[in-house]
């Protein structure tokens, strides 16, 4: 999936990968604002 799909589906990622979403969701959202 594309980066913007991760942000839109971060709730889905949280269900699939709870521990992964805790670090990845803020990571993608913070870095996305830079670009």
pLDDT of residue 2: 62
The domain ranges of the chain are 3-34
pLDDT of residue 23: 58
Write down the pTM of the prediction.
0.25
pLDDT of residue 35: 44
pLDDT of residue 29: 58
pLDDT in tens, 8-32: 666 766 666 665 555 555 555 565 5
pLDDT of residue 34: 47
Rounded Cα distance between 18 and 35, Å, is 26
Backbone angles phi, psi at 11, to 5 degrees: -70, -35
pLDDT of residue 13: 62
- Tokens for 6? 């991760």
Q: Helical H runs in 1-35? A: 3-8, 10-16, 18-34
């Amino acid at each position: 999936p594309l980066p913007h799909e991760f942000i839109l589906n971060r709730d889905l990622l949280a269900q699939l990968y709870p521990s992964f979403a805790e670090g990845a969701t803020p990571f993608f959202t913070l870095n996305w604002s830079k670009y």
